């Protein structure tokens, strides 16, 4: 079944599992016979991405090189995440402090709260403008930044953004299938481990900021990223804010209930305390979870 943009979970899964190149996708866009911008947007939507740039960065995601973009190095991207990239970003900022005030996306990533206030005072429409390397909203750069600077806080910047009206449910679609929200970014971690994909240094406060502002506690990707360790604080916080046994997995290809998925993984990986917590909150064992 396709959605209002003409895309479907099946197409997104095919895209994720089939190697492709930008020239091949551009050729597909050209074949639509539409104006270039419209054609690219149509193809992006077909495969589950919000914008062409987000599709482009997923397909052509290089390992950051010496001349890599600052935002590319500073943020978790869930392709190539290594401490050395964040260290290089900090060195770039030390060498060129003007990076911090280049635009609204750099200010969000660095945690330049005073500069963010000046930017938004001058142009309030930038609060949810997409841009920068990843074509994200400012709140996403604040959530996924891992610069961890001693004199600045992206949490403070995020608080300003939320106070000014930024949606706490800001997200991008990784691979056209998986919903990576600002909350996902704050919680961090993932398949590459916490050394490579650490949580935000103030993740508890950041997550509560978003949840208090109305972020959806049914964040399947945050739960997935944090399930590999035995730390259940992410799950506990989301349950506190309303996650329940009726919530369904919110990946486009996802099926079933999110707590059932978590229980299945916990059982298979012998996370007994998590099993108990999930069962107490209505999760059902494999084979009994229904549809």
Rounded to 10°, the helix 272-280/233-240 angle is 10
Does residue 248 have a pLDDT over 80?
yes
- Give the residue with greater pLDDT, 100 vs 269: 100
Does residue 10 have a pLDDT over 80?
no
What value does the mean pLDDT take over residues 132-142?
A: 96
SS3 state of residue 275: helix
Over the chain, what is the mean pLDDT? Answer: 87
- Give the residue with greater pLDDT, 85 vs 60: 85
CB 230 within 8 A of CB 220: no
Please, which pLDDT band fits residue 67 given cuts at 50, 70 and 90?
A: low
27's enclosing H/E stretch is helix 22-30
d(CA 160, CA 174): 26
Does residue 23 have a pLDDT over 80?
no
In this prediction, residue 225 carries a pLDDT of 95
In this prediction, residue 213 carries a pLDDT of 98
Task: Please list the helix, strand and coil fractions of the chain in percent, rounded to the nearest 5, in that order.
Answer: 50, 5, 45
SS3 state of residue 282: coil
Share above pLDDT 90 across residues of the chain, in percent, rounded to a whole number:
63
DSSP secondary-structure letter at 136?
B
Please, which pLDDT band fits residue 74 given cuts at 50, 70 and 90?
A: very high
- Give the residue with greater pLDDT, 147 vs 41: 147
243: left (phi over 0), alpha (psi -120 to 50) or beta: beta
SS3 state of residue 21: coil
117's enclosing H/E stretch is helix 113-122
Question: Could you read off the pLDDT of 141-194 as tens digits, one per residue?
Answer: 999 999 999 999 999 999 999 999 999 999 999 878 899 999 999 999 998 888
What value does the mean pLDDT take over residues 254-278?
A: 93
In this prediction, residue 223 carries a pLDDT of 97
In this prediction, residue 185 carries a pLDDT of 98
């Amino acid at each position: 079944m396709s959605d209002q943009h003409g895309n479907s979970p099946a197409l997104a899964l095919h895209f994720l599992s089939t190697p492709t190149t930008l020239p091949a996708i551009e050729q597909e866009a050209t074949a639509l016979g539409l104006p270039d911008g419209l054609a690219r947007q149509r193809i992006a939507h077909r495969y589950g991405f919000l914008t062409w740039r987000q599709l482009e960065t997923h397909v052509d995601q290089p390992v950051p090189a010496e001349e890599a973009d600052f935002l590319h190095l500073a943020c978790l991207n869930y392709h190539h995440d290594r401490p050395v990239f964040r260290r290089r970003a900090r060195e770039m900022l030390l060498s060129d402090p003007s990076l911090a005030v280049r635009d609204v996306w750099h200010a969000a990533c660095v945690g330049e709260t005073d500069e963010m206030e000046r930017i938004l005072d001058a142009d309030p429409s930038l609060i949810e403008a997409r841009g920068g390397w990843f074509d994200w909203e400012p709140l996403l750069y604040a959530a996924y930044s891992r610069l961890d600077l001693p004199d600045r806080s992206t949490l403070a910047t995020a608080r300003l953004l939320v106070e000014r009206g930024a949606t706490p449910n800001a997200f991008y679609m990784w691979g056209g299938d998986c919903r990576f929200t600002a909350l996902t970014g704050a919680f961090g971690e993932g398949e590459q481990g916490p050394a490579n994909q650490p949580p935000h240094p103030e993740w508890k406060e950041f997550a509560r900021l978003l949840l208090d502002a109305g972020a959806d506690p049914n964040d399947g990707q945050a739960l997935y990223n944090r399930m590999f360790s035995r730390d259940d604080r992410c799950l506990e916080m989301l349950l506190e804010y309303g996650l329940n046994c009726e919530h369904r997995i919110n990946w486009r290809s996802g099926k079933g209930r999110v707590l059932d998925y978590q229980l299945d993984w916990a059982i298979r990986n012998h996370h007994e305390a998590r099993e108990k917590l999930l069962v107490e909150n209505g999760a059902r064992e494999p084979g009994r979870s229904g549809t």
